[in-house]
Chain A
Amino acid sequence: MKYFKYIALILMGNAFISCSDFLDPTPSSSITTDNYYTTADELETGLIGVYAGIKGINSSSKDDNHGVQWEFYVTEMRTDNTSTKSPDSEDASDAGQMESFAVLPTNNFVLNYYTSSFETIYRANVILENLDVVEDEATYAAIEGEAKFLRAYSYFHLVRLFGDLPLIDQVVDPSDVETQFTRVDESVIYDLIISDLQTAAEGIADHGYKTRASKDAAKGLLAKVYLSLETPEYAKAQVLCEEIMSSGEYDLLDDYYDVFYSELNDEIIFAIGYNSGIQDNSQIFSAEFMNAVGHTSGVNYATTDAKAAIDEYGGNRTEVSYREDPLTLFGGTIRYQVGKYFPDGETGGSDGQTFTGLPQLAGNDWIVLRYADILLMHSEAILAGAEETTSATAIDSYMEVRSRAGFEDRPTRLTKDALLVERRVELAFENQRFYDLVRFNEAQSTLSAFAAANGFTFTSTDLLLPIPQNEINLSQGAMYQNPGY
């Protein structure tokens, strides 16, 4: 019994010593964005996640962010280029609202594009927030550049679609209602876009991937930003285009078909990559453009207006750009399908619906920026808002694109109208038409005439999409709607 106090002492001592970390473990199941990133490698995996935001989820759920997969709804289908399979001014569905310029603030495609884009911006901001874990200077600049490119890419689309926007240039707390819902002037958004793209053009490493942002992708996008400003910076845009042109890295392909069906070719500067047959990595838009192959009965069909323009100015691009829907060959109204994105190159057999692979899991990349676009932007920058130009360099770039299409009739002067038409047919169904019309100050006149001829009602306020009603409601009165909605 006399040892009792010693035993008690030892036990007490143990109690003090052994409790060191056993009761205070690092919880291994709760990795959050706040504590995950500890190395440059981890940050780089996060960066891939930002691209995934643009790539979008291949599903039929309206709640998933579909990113660029649903972009055609809010861009191409709001022009004279495409419509639903059966255009109808009475069609009040979400897709039907687009073609008839009768978009409602509750439109789901509008909401989806808005939230997808801000999700990408959020993810980019997370990467930028965690940059301090990178020690190597070049790696730091490369990751910063790519993240800023992606943020600028998303904002550039949003600002042209919605006008004034909330400025989210850092990770914001969900409770910070003011930052999330206060719309700032377009020019402030453009300032951020320009500075982001300048950083990107400086810092991005030469990684050799065309499905990731490169220095040239940043320069090309920045050139387009300069052309899109309220007071365009034509000279800066021209210099950027010339830097890309003289790099010798890019070339027009001889065969227009190969631009779309041999992926990552010499003409591509930046594309969103997809892989065929894998749910998580494939895209749905190729199937949606077919007749009842995707989740819809068929959307983004070429209008007769677009067909007429392509027939007249397309040259050898015509047969690649669209085709007659095979299902209408057996009777019924003749309709035209977009020909640039057949699922994995399969045209769907005699009825356009029979595929050996899985058309809903298509792997066609989405081309964001290609060399023909750069050449035509070069001409546009030299034209500098004038009616026409005799500049030989402007006509050279224009003719480079034209001669690939089989035209050799070199004009002595290049007019703005000719350039706009050339962009329409060269870049048809590539989600450029809407932005081109706005940039050339031709949106109101062209779309008014198109709407009148097709029984739709277009007013100039339709050029800006409505801020999604969801956002207006969540903002508790802080967010105002665009005029006309």
Chain B
Amino acid sequence: MLGIDLVYLPEFETKMKNFPLARIFLSDELSQNKTLESLAGVFAAKEAFFKAIGKKEGWLDVWIEKNKDGKPQLYSTLIKNNEKVEISISHAGDYAVAVVTINN
């Protein structure tokens, strides 16, 4: 199962400035992603995950944590085995993109 999402940073910035962030992100995600780009990457990863499982669920049912090297790992209450999920995030200028695969 596979999902991808592309985020346009200027749009992300304008909309998120005035949106209750607690509805989309855990406090740990906010403290680990201090720049706009990196938070946009996390957002893209969540969207990509929903596409991969084929269903749109709650934003707080899935979250991304980064280890000390900055490598992202996805966790979710929506799948049994978090080990089977692989994600990759990338940035280029005004865009952030994330790919999520769930192996069977």
Whether chain B is bound by chain A comes out as no
